[in-house]
């Protein structure tokens, strides 16, 4: 197993961060480009169902809010965050190469908004209660994320999908009008041969060929070992990787397995994959050499986590972050809702 001290904490807390107490089991977090610099160097924490959302800036390891709505609160930009189903993520709305807009959506309702930030005041540039671009957003299992569809280096397309129904839509944005560049209705056949037939299926964007562009799709099915990676050739998706026995040594046989793309080498490329199993201390970081994946960091099951963070709770979540205000996302944020625990780790050995 890898040495956990390869990563070291630059931030540790058991009482939340920047005033956000992280004491609700529904708390969620992600990185955001608040001030339009191109750097995902702000932390968003929110509590769906309570109207609570905070955006934190980082001043040499001291976090403080640039936006805060306590519990209960009124949400942000007119979106009330009143449903426990609400989800939020960062998006490049205006094709600037900056993830400086917020997408907020409510599965099972058709509600989706997109907010812009003008010096700390958030306003909608898109509002709908009937879905977006033809995707109706009427299933409780609908999911969404930003994607680089046309290999521009910009996460300026939206992917909406419904695992278990074979449904996935990819939407382009033309001055606020969204339309599909790829669409499979419900029921559908998935994408690139991957059927999206399980409710457990998850999809993420990934820089497969080290181009600096997250223009491939990773589709995986926890508890089965199934993982595929698809390339896009002018709207036709096809696999560059297929497995039913995990990837790079990670077996993907637990229902609580999670994955995301990561800039391990600090080279501004999300060209490594992180797979982790919260509750088991398990986390693997995989490099890709011409379609062969292998571990640059590995802690099996059971393991001891990473950088001193034990990953011992099934509630633990992890995501990449630009702690140093650069264009890389080479730090890891690890947090445990309902406890106040949050750490940020730096990679001491950013080499394959």
57-111 tens-digit pLDDT? 999 999 999 999 988 999 999 999 999 999 999 999 999 999 999 999 999 999 9
Average pLDDT (236-255) is 99
Cα–Cα distances in angstroms (integers) from residue 212 to residues 84, 87, 215, 236, 263, in the given order: 35, 27, 9, 21, 10
- When the pLDDT of each residue in the chain is averaged and rounded to a whole number, the result is 97
pLDDT class of 328 with cuts at 50, 70, 90: confident
Give SS3 for 162: strand
Residues of the chain with pLDDT > 70: what percent? 100
Average pLDDT (3-20) is 94
Average pLDDT (185-196) is 96
pLDDT class of 5 with cuts at 50, 70, 90: confident
Does residue 310 surpass a pLDDT of 80? yes
Quickly count: other Cβ atoms within 10 Å of residue 238's Cβ.
11
pLDDT at 306: 97
pLDDT at 2: 75
Q: Which CATH number is 7-347 given?
A: 2.120.10.30
Does residue 327 surpass a pLDDT of 90? no
Handedness of CA 293, 295, 299, 300 (dihedral sign): positive
């Amino acid at each position: 197993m890898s040495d956990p001290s390869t990563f070291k904490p630059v931030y540790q807390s058991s009482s939340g961060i920047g005033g956000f107490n992280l004491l609700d089991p529904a708390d969620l977090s992600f990185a955001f480009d608040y001030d339009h610099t191109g750097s995902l160097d702000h932390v968003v924490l929110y509590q769906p169902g309570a109207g609570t959302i905070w955006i934190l800036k980082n001043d040499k390891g001291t976090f403080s809010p640039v936006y805060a709505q306590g519990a209960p609160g009124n949400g942000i930009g007119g979106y009330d965050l009143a449903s426990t189903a609400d989800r939020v993520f960062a998006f490049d709305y205006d094709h600037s190469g900056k993830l400086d807009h917020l997408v907020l959506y409510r599965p099972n309702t058709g509600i989706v908004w997109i907010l812009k930030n003008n010096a700390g005041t958030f306003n909608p540039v898109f509002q709908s209660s009937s879905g977006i671009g033809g995707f109706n957003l009427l299933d409780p299992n609908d999911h969404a994320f930003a994607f680089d569809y046309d290999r521009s280096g910009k996460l300026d397309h939206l992917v909406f999908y419904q695992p278990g129904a074979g449904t996935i839509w990819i939407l382009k944005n033309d001055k606020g009008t969204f339309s599909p560049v790829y669409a499979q209705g419900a029921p559908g056949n998935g994408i690139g041969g991957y059927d999206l037939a399980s409710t457990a299926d998850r999809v993420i964007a990934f820089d497969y060929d080290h181009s600096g562009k997250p223009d491939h799709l990773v589709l995986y099915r926890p508890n089965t070992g199934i993982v595929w990676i698809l390339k896009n050739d002018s709207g036709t998706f096809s696999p560059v990787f297929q497995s039913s026995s995990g990837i790079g040594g990670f077996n993907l046989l637990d229902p609580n397995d999670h994955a995301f793309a990561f800039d391990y080498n600090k080279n501004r490329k999300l060209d490594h994959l992180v797979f982790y199993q919260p509750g088991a201390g398990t986390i693997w970081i995989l490099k890709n050499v011409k379609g062969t994946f292998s571990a640059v960091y590995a802690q099996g099951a059971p393991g001891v986590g990473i950088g001193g963070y034990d990953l011992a709770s099934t509630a633990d979540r992890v995501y990449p972050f630009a702690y140093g205000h650069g264009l890389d996302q080479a730090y890891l944020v690890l947090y445990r809702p309902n406890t106040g625990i949050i750490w940020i780790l730096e990679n001491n050995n950013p080499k394959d």
